[in-house]
Every structure is written in C-alpha cells, then in structure tokens.
Structure 1
Amino acid sequence: MDNPVTPAPMPPIPDETTESTGSWLRENLVNIVLGLICLTVVLRYLDPLSVVLAGAGLTFIIFIHELGHFAAAKLCNVRVEAFSIGFGPPLPFCSYKYGETTYKLCLVPLGGFVKMLGEGDGTNDDTADTDPRSFKNQSVPERMLIISAGVIMNILLACVLFVIVYMHGLEEIPATVARMEAGGTAWRLNIHSGSEIRKIGNRENPWFDDLRPIVWATNKGDLVDLKIDDNGTIRDLKGEPIRDEGAPFPVLGILPMESLSLIRGDKFNTPPFIPDSAASQAKDAEGHPLFHSGDTLVGMSDPDTPDRKVTPIKSGANDARGDIFVYHRRLARLATEPITFEVTRTSGETASITVPPAYRRDTGMRMRMGSIVATRVGSPAEAAKVQPKEGTNPGDRIVEVEFANADKTVTVLTSGKVEATTGRVVKPLDPLKLPTELTQWADRTPGPKRVTLTVWREQEGDHAEKRIALELPWDEVGRFDVTTEMKAQTPIAINGLGLAYHVQAVVDSVTPGGPAATAGLQPNDACEAVRIRAKDATGTVDEGRWETIKPHQWAFVDELLQRVSPFEADVRVNRGGQPVEVRLGTVEDRDYSRTDRGLILATQTRIQKANSIGEALQMGADRTLRMIQTTYINLYAMVFGRVSAVQTMSGPITLARISYILAGESVWKLILMLALININLAVVNFLPIPLLDGGHMMFLIYEAFRGKPPPERVHILLTYVGFFFVICLMLFTIGLDIYRLLKVWLRW
C-alpha cells in the first residue's frame, strides 16, 4: 500500500545510516522481544523453510509493487526521497542512502511506500512547489503513470508467474459434475453424475474454478446458460443458482469429480477414511489400518461377475464419464455386501482389502415427513404432476408408498395405520429410510418398475387437504446419480423418482427399547438444537457446540450422525413449551445399508501444460485476464449481497497462513498462490478509494477534466475518509483471520 496523502506535515527523512545500533536497540526493545518470540514460535512449531519461502514470496510482491512506482518516478525525472519495504522503524543495517534516495527495510512488513518530493505531503515547502523534479509539478499523464505503475507491475508479475507455472504444468479441476446437492440447481435440471459442463455463460470449456465467479455474479432470478455433455449427448439448459438463507453465496449445487486415489496424509496424519467407518474396520493382525494415504484403487468387486470377482475399475467404450463413476455404481449395487478392493501403494506394491457393508445408524425414532420441495426436469415426478413447495403452495406431502415385489407381494409404507393382509406387507413410512428402501427394492426386482405415491395435497380455495394417488415409473438412469446433503437446508432425494423432500425435526414415533426411548424422547417432541459429538483422527472426542436447527432440517442432522463417531449427539427439544435436553445415541440397523464405505478420495485434476514458451505466454495472459475479471466479479457480488463478505473475505494472516501451507506442499503451488495474490492486490489497490492508488487516480482524473486539482479541503476530507475506511477494512479482515484461527485451534 502506498504512502497515504495526509494533511499533516511530514518531517524531512533523516539519514538512518547515521543512527547507531545501540540507540536503535534501545528504541525498539519491545519490538525486538516480540520478534524473538515470533522467531521462537517459528523454530518450535513451524517449518522454517516454509516460513522463509512464504515470507520471501509475499515480500517480493510488495517489492515489485513499490519498484513500479520507483521506476516510473525515475523515468519521469521525479526526485525519490525514500524507498521502503514495510512500515515503522527500519531494521538495523537495513537502511542506507544512495544518491538522493534512502532505501530501507522496516520492521512491519505489511506493505511499503515510495516517498517522492512534493507527493501530497501537505506542506508549504517552497522547494516542493518550485522544484521541477517535484511530483506535484509533473504533468497529469506522468503522475497517472507513476500512480498506476505499481498495479501494472503486479499484473505483469502475475502473468510471469502464471507463465512459469504453465511451463511446469498446472493442476486444474475439470468442470465435471460428480456429486449433486439434493434439490439443488443441477439436480433440478436433471443433470446426471458424470456430465461435463462445456459452457457456462460466455465461458467456453471452463474449469471447475471458473464456475464460481460466474454463479456469484448472478442476481436473484437470473438464469445461467449451461451447455452440458451427458455421456455424448449435448443439452442446452438454463438454471437459477440458489442461495439458501444463511448461505455465504449462490451455488449450482455440484461438487468436483473425485479420483480413484485416496487423500495423501498431511502433517496432521489425517487417515484416508472416516473414523469408525466401514473402511476403518479393515485392519491387519496388529490392528493397523490396511488403507494407506495415497493408495490408488485399481480394482473392486464386480456385481456383473460370478462370486463378485475383483475386476479393474474401468469405464466401458460406451461410457465416457470416467472410472470414478464405475466405482460409485458398483458401490450402489453392492451396498448390502462386502466389497474387496485392490489397491496400488505409493511404493508400487499391491494389496487386496475387504471392506464390510456399512449400515445406517438408527436413533430409534421416526421423524415426521415434510413437504416435497423440488422435482427434476423430465423426471417421473414431473410427469406425474407432483407439486413441490413453491410460494404459498405448501407442496405435496407423502403419506403412503406402495410397490410390487418380485415374489408378487406388495409392500406398503405408510404414516398411518393400515392392516396387513395376505400378500401385503405393511411397514411404517420412515422418511429417512425411504430412499434406501426403494433402491434396495429396485435392485432386487427385475424389469420395469412402478411406485404408487399417496400424497396429501392442499386444495385451492378452501385449503382443505385431499389424499391423491400418483403412479410413477422408476428411473434406472437417475437412480445412480450421486447426491449428498451438502447444507442444513438440503432435502432428501429419491433419484429414481426425481423428487426431494424435507424431514421435519419432530418425533412421530419412538421404538420401544431404542436409543430415543432410552434417552427419554417422546412423540411430538420438536428438536430445536443439536450438539454433535465427533471423533477426530487421533481418537479425541470433540463435544462440539450447540447449533440451532430449523423445523425442516433434520435430514442434515441425520447425515452428520451417519458420518461422525461416536454416533451420538446432545439434542434440545421443545416438549409442550418446556425445553428438555437429552443425549441421543444410535445403533446399527442391518436392514438398511449405506452406499458410502467411508473412503476419502482426492479431487481429480488434469495437468494443463504449455508445449512452448509462446503457448505459455498465451495461457498466462489469458489466466491473468480471467483472474482480474473474477476478482471484480467477486467484489461486485459482495457489494450487492450475493456473497457474504464475512464468510469469504480474508486478511493478511490468512494469506500468510495459506502461503506457508502451500510452501510446505509444493513450490509450484506457492508460485500460483503468489500470482493470485498479485491479482487481488492490483485490483483492490486500484479501487477508487482515497489513500489507495485508485483514489489518487480519481483525483488526477478530476484534475485532467477541470484543469486544476480538487479543493484542498475536499482533498483532505476525502483522504481522512479513505484512511478511516482502509483502517476499518484492515481491522475487519484481521479480526476474521483471528476468529478463523481460534475456531481451528479451539474447535469452536
């Protein structure tokens, strides 16, 4: 950040080279002690090399920015009095005067400045007014060049860094739809898992990271143009990104594609599986996990072979979606059986590992069915005219499900009391178990299948509810789409029918002797808050914190109970107007299996590498322009409320922390991060805010049009306003950084 234009007089810069080391030590004793403490922390808890690399990279960015101002000033024959990296007192032996300029490295490395004669110092110095080498005596175009030179240098540096990365090869995440949020935009458009996004808005052949800024820039009601490649079939679609209440930004509701490699261990030794999951149960004779970080899945049990023979995980010639979707399809078809995986270690060795089935963790209570909130375009639910919740329409609510079994019997799932008769099996309708119930039925029933849904539907006019029976065919293609409960607002999807519904946080019934009954829960208890107890990779149980849940958000709570250990939570319920707090446990329900075995897969990437320096220059320039556009789009989205500034902004502590982490992983990732920081610094520093380069440029534009600078009082007032804004912004972002660090360290 450049030296601010302030109304207060600035004293002449002394020649720091004459200052004795002893006097410097006495004046900066407190700062020295704090510096030694920081150095001790680095040597004790951090990797010194990563700290040096990250610090050198961030300092280099500041140096390049100030060098731009310095070089432009010298080009315009302006007298430069000081060139500083950092603020505050100069470090010992880091300040010297060469010619007319004092060069120094200061104690606080948050920015820097170039001090030029006559540069807005607010003095009445006759020399600054009359000296032809004074900044204020240069022409407007020359001053514009000097002011903008720092930003130009940052953009050029970013371009150079991108070129370097593309020459080496840059990992990019393909814009392939892997998992979808149930009821989200992509799910509603009936986009299938494995589909590739060929175009979004005006962006052709995007990468996954290109999607976010385009989606963020939309306003409520805006539609995004999408071109989807669904296994060779091109579809042109329009969809509105959804921003749920409390969400930081609007989304399409998709997650990037996974690879067949397990995540690699980090410095926290995070295992490549969820603690206490089915995958974690695969251990050797000494009790050590059989799945290792970085293992690659190369084969698994094949449901199309006798005795579930292990075959390579390879997609066929007629399926272009990739091997990962063969993996997910086999998981779905073998949900009730053990699966044997063949893995290749990072050492090159191979191993065969058998993982038992994963079962639902049942709480022993049946929650109340909520309204249908979404249907998929072209799905059986849409064809049957199922009415989702929209506007004042409360939406259909499922009260009964009926389907014919392969043995000619009929199963009825009902929320009411229905007598079982010959050939009819009657069971309670549990909204949390319904998707599993239907997929297990579909897997064991050959040929075309149909499901009869009975729904309560509010009638127009008198608002009375009426039972309506709807017959829906089963969709085998949509059944294998991979959906997930990504947020608290996310409903539960039945992909084979193309509908999604909420689950109310109200207890409908309690199983005698089950966990809920043991905890003292009763029918009609309304759950209002939960505190999930989770176990980390070291086995430490984190009590968590209380989270308020809304009446329709129980599906998300149940998903957390399925995925965390020790599979229990504290629940606060409203019982007749009185708060009651209980600890709710779970038990395995072996009648209902889960597809997910608990393996954590790494995100799939593709290497973008230039074949020549010319191609690298073109790719680097294109990436630079894209990132500038992306940064402005993100700022636009923040200003107009489409993106939460609290949840998306970061300050210098976060930038330093991320740079340190990336420096420890790969120098190429650090270079990429520095390129991105350069772009953000350039864009933010050129915003029309007094005190920043962009604010100076606005004053110069005013002077160019009016033929004279703005009135001094206006200049001073706006400078104070800019100073106040920048200070508030810095305090805000640093406060966010500290809050996030505390959340990680204290597990809030």
Structure 2
Amino acid sequence: MGQFLQGAVSFVPTLLIAIVVFGALIFIHELGHFLTAKWSGIKVNEFSIGMGPKLWGWQRGETLYALRLLPIGGYVSMEGEDEESNEPRAFQRAAVWKRIIVTAAGAVMNLALGFIVLLIVVCLQGQIVSRTVYGFQENAASQQSGLQQGDTIVAVNGRRCYIANDVSYELARSANGTADLTVERGEKTVELENVRFNSYTLEGQQQSGLDFIVYGLPLSPVAVLKEAGAWTMSYARLVVLSFADLVTGRIPVTDLSGPVGIVQTIGQVSTMGVESLLLLVALITVNLGVFNLLPVPALDGGRLVFLILEAVRRKPVPQKFEIAVNAAGFILLIGLMLFATFNDVTRLIA
C-alpha cells in the first residue's frame, strides 16, 4: 500500500506537466479556429478547452468561454457548423475560402508553435549539428563503403534528409542495415549504393548505427531559422511516415500509444532537462498539426476535403451526408484512442 501511495504521489508532478502541455497545445489549436472565425465574421457560440462537464464558464458577448473536465481536446462551436441555421453569420453562409482558412487555422497554429519551440531548442543547443562528415570511428564500415570526410549527406534511400537525425531514422528503417546515400562531395552530387555501417547488439538483436561524426556549425540568425524550419519539416514527415507505416502494417497496431502513454513519456522526458522536454513538446504539437490535416473524416483534414469539393463543384456537399461521414469518423477515432489507451495500460501492467 505504501509503495502504491508513493507511486501515486510521484505521479502528480508528471500529470500536472502533462495537463499544462496538453492544455497549451489544445488552446493554441482552438485559438487558430477562433481568431480566424472572428476575422471571417462567423458567429462563435463557444470556445472550450477540454471535454466533458463544464468546470468554469464566462459569457462575453455572443461567446461562452469554458474550461471542461477532461484535458483531451477542445472545440470552437460555430453557429451552423454542424446543423442548419438561419443566422446570417452562420459558418455555412461564409464564403468557402473563408471556411477553408478557418478549418485549417488550428493545424497551422500548431505547426507555427512547433517552429517557435524548435527555434528555442536550436538556440539552447549552442550549435547546429550538420550532415557533413567530420571523421570516422575506427574501422568504420561506412568509410570502407565509400563515404568520405567532408561529404554532406542529402538523402538516404532516396528520401531527403532535413536534419542529422534523419540519417539515423532512415538507417533504422533499412531492412538489412545498409543504405543508399546521396552526398554532396565538393561541387558534385555522388550516389553511394549499399553503404554499410558498424553494427552492435541491442537486447539480443543486431542493429546498425552511425559510425561517423559530423561537424557542428556556429549559430547565426539565418542558420537558426533554417535549422528550426528543417526540424519542423522533419517532424512533419515523421508523422506522415509513421501513419503510412501503421496503415501498411510496418508498425503493428499494438505499438499505438494513447494519452496514458504520452503522459508517461512526458514524465520520463521531463527528468532529462528543459531541452528534451521542449523537443517532445515540439514533436507533439507538430504531430497534432499534421495529423489534423490528414484527409480523415471528423478531422480538420476531412472537413477540408468537403470544402475543396465544394469549391471545385461550386455547390456544397449535402450537409446531412457530411455530418454522417464525420460522425462515423469520430466514432472510429474514439475507438482508436480507446484501443491505444488499452495498449498503454497493458504495457504498464506488464
């Protein structure tokens, strides 16, 4: 019993950090919808952070500002968004281009926040980790395969590398521990096929890792902006690749992690320092932005599909059909979240 109470008490700071992180990311996302809706002249009935029972509410003008019990989401309720309305300022009566901006604004805000957080991280690191080879480990297999000092790695297996970490990620995706590299060597672009890397054993499995070191570059305003943008692009692509791997079965569904797993990860990373926590926050907010733009019903991306169809066809998709599709998508997403939470709990018990 004592161990349980001790564990529960130690979990409180982690939970508080997670609530603050989730709350901030949800607020930024919904603020994007809210501000663009107001700018577009659309009536906003409620701006809510959290889901479920209302803990606090404040009515100002036509809008109710609310804080709700469960910090797992939020919403901006716009007049006529999901129902018929005769209100002149209803969502459905706004120009389609304005509705596209309002719908996309939440995800754009998350991506912008990710970029800002990564700007801070790059500055904290004190230097930029390049993709240019400085030297090799002793008996480095990559050097024996043709990689040379001064080579700048621009792509692995045909996929562009935005940051140094992309090289490690792409190597981990390679089935046989080898990779095709595209490098800049002086003024030439050189293709290196089947480059091998030194291997090591991790938990009984043979792994390949980078056997070279790269240059560190000094910070400058332009370099920091470019590096933060590169990190944002890398994280965004990581989300898309992970989703594709999940759909194709490369990543098993049992590896899915939900809110419980994310809270646990936040707790672990928060002990590693501010820089590590900021990197995780950036990854989560970019993940939230990109995931919401996927063309999946009930997500902002699914709604954008209907709006783009309306713009092309010059007439809206029947609202009842759109509502039904989004409702089905919402049920699917809730089921997926419950399954991911079940995975988290199972891993904790094990």
TM-score, normalisation: structure 2: 0.80
Per the alignment, residue 637 of structure 1 pairs with 245
8 Å contact kept, 2:161–2:167: no
Could you tell me which amino acid in structure 1 is paired with residue 265 of structure 2? I
1:484 aligns with 2:200: yes
Q: CA deviation at 1:169?
A: 1.3
1:45 aligns with 2:7: no
8 Å contact kept, 1:69–1:147: yes
Pair 610,112 (structure 1): closer, same or farther in 2 beyond 3 Å? farther
Per the alignment, residue 193 of structure 2 pairs with 238
Q: CA deviation at 1:691?
A: 0.8
Match 1:225 to one of 180, 197, 214: 180
Pair 617,57 (structure 1): closer, same or farther in 2 beyond 3 Å? same
Per the alignment, residue 725 of structure 1 pairs with 332
- For 1:696 and 1:705, locate their aligned partners in 2 and report how far apart those are by CA, in whole Å: 14
Could you tell me which amino acid in structure 1 is paired with residue 193 of structure 2? K
> Percent identical across equivalent pairs?
30
Q: CA deviation at 1:727?
A: 1.5
Q: CA deviation at 1:167?
A: 1.5
Secondary structure of 2:271's counterpart equals: helix
Look at both structures and tell me which one has the larger radius of gyration over its CA atoms. 1
670-679 or 717-726, which moves further after superposition?
717-726
- For 1:632 and 1:188, locate their aligned partners in 2 and report how far apart those are by CA, in whole Å: 29
Per the alignment, residue 619 of structure 1 pairs with 227
- For 1:179 and 1:70, locate their aligned partners in 2 and report how far apart those are by CA, in whole Å: 57
- For 2:171 and 2:29, locate their aligned partners in 1 and report how far apart those are by CA, in whole Å: 29
1:159 aligns with 2:115: yes
- For 2:347 and 2:138, locate their aligned partners in 1 and report how far apart those are by CA, in whole Å: 27
Deviations 1:540-572 (A, max 9, x none): xxxxxxxxxxxxxxxxxxxxxxxxxxxxxxxxx
Pair 58,703 (structure 1): closer, same or farther in 2 beyond 3 Å? same
Match 2:91 to one of 135, 152, 165: 135
Could you tell me which amino acid in structure 2 is paired with residue 45 of structure 1? S
Could you tell me which amino acid in structure 2 is paired with residue 484 of structure 1? Y
Q: CA deviation at 1:45?
A: 2.4
Pair 694,160 (structure 1): closer, same or farther in 2 beyond 3 Å? same
Q: CA deviation at 1:138?
A: 0.3
Secondary structure of 2:224's counterpart equals: helix
Deviations 1:347-399 (A, max 9, x none): xxxxxxxxxxxxxxxxxxxxxxxxxxxxxxxxxxxxxxxxxxxxxxxxxxxxx
Could you tell me which amino acid in structure 2 is paired with residue 733 of structure 1? A
Per the alignment, residue 38 of structure 2 pairs with 74
Pair 95,196 (structure 1): closer, same or farther in 2 beyond 3 Å? farther
Match 1:707 to one of 314, 318, 322: 314
Per the alignment, residue 85 of structure 1 pairs with 49
- For 1:653 and 1:105, locate their aligned partners in 2 and report how far apart those are by CA, in whole Å: 21
Pair 713,66 (structure 1): closer, same or farther in 2 beyond 3 Å? closer
- For 1:139 and 1:698, locate their aligned partners in 2 and report how far apart those are by CA, in whole Å: 16
Structure 2 gaps, min length 5? none
1:654 aligns with 2:264: no
Q: CA deviation at 1:198?
A: 4.2
- For 1:646 and 1:228, locate their aligned partners in 2 and report how far apart those are by CA, in whole Å: 37
- For 2:292 and 2:222, locate their aligned partners in 1 and report how far apart those are by CA, in whole Å: 30
Deviations 1:128-175 (A, max 9, x none): 22x221111101100001000000000100000011111221786988
Match 2:304 to one of 697, 719, 723: 697
Per the alignment, residue 98 of structure 1 pairs with 60
Match 2:78 to one of 116, 121, 126: 116
- For 1:662 and 1:132, locate their aligned partners in 2 and report how far apart those are by CA, in whole Å: 49
Match 2:28 to one of 24, 42, 64: 64
Deviations 1:108-134 (A, max 9, x none): 0001001111111x3x4xxx22x2211
Q: CA deviation at 1:641?
A: 3.1
1:168 aligns with 2:168: no
Deviations 1:465-494 (A, max 9, x none): xxxxxxxxxxxxxxxxx6434476759xxx
Could you tell me which amino acid in structure 2 is paired with residue 156 of structure 1? A
8 Å contact kept, 1:610–1:616: no
1:685 aligns with 2:309: no
Alignment of structure 1 residues 346-365 onto 2, 5 Å = none
1:144 aligns with 2:100: yes
Pair 151,675 (structure 1): closer, same or farther in 2 beyond 3 Å? same
Alignment of structure 1 residues 275-674 onto 2, 5 Å = 483-486=199-202, 611-647=219-255, 649-674=256-281
8 Å contact kept, 1:84–1:112: yes
8 Å contact kept, 2:162–2:234: no
Alignment of structure 1 residues 177-256 onto 2, 5 Å = 191=145, 198-199=152-153, 200=156, 201=158, 203=160, 207-213=164-170, 216=173, 224-226=179-181, 237-239=192-194
8 Å contact kept, 2:19–2:71: no
Deviations 1:404-423 (A, max 9, x none): xxxxxxxxxxxxxxxxxxxx
Q: CA deviation at 1:637?
A: 2.8
Deviations 1:205-256 (A, max 9, x none): 852444324764x7x89x9422689xxxx9953239xxxxxxxxxxx8x6xx
Aligned residues: 332
The runs of 4+ residues in structure 1 deviating greater than 4 Å are 40-43, 170-180, 186-198, 486-491, 604-610
8 Å contact kept, 2:130–2:216: no
8 Å contact kept, 1:173–1:208: no
- For 2:46 and 2:237, locate their aligned partners in 1 and report how far apart those are by CA, in whole Å: 34
Q: Which has the larger helix fraction?
A: 2
- For 2:23 and 2:78, locate their aligned partners in 1 and report how far apart those are by CA, in whole Å: 21
Pair 190,645 (structure 1): closer, same or farther in 2 beyond 3 Å? farther
- For 1:605 and 1:732, locate their aligned partners in 2 and report how far apart those are by CA, in whole Å: 41
8 Å contact kept, 1:151–1:685: yes
- For 2:201 and 2:278, locate their aligned partners in 1 and report how far apart those are by CA, in whole Å: 35
Q: Which has the larger strand fraction?
A: 1
8 Å contact kept, 2:166–2:234: no
Deviations 1:571-616 (A, max 9, x none): xxxxxxxxxxxxxxxxxxxxxxxxxxxxxxxxx9989676333332
Pair 74,227 (structure 1): closer, same or farther in 2 beyond 3 Å? closer
TM-score, normalisation: structure 1: 0.40
Could you tell me which amino acid in structure 2 is paired with residue 672 of structure 1? L
Deviations 1:12-53 (A, max 9, x none): xxxxxxxxxxxxxxxxxxxxxxxxxxxx777722363x5433
Structure 1 gaps, min length 5? 1-39, 181-185, 241-251, 255-481, 492-603, 744-748
Could you tell me which amino acid in structure 1 is paired with residue 111 of structure 2? I
- For 2:190 and 2:322, locate their aligned partners in 1 and report how far apart those are by CA, in whole Å: 56
Could you tell me which amino acid in structure 2 is paired with residue 226 of structure 1? L
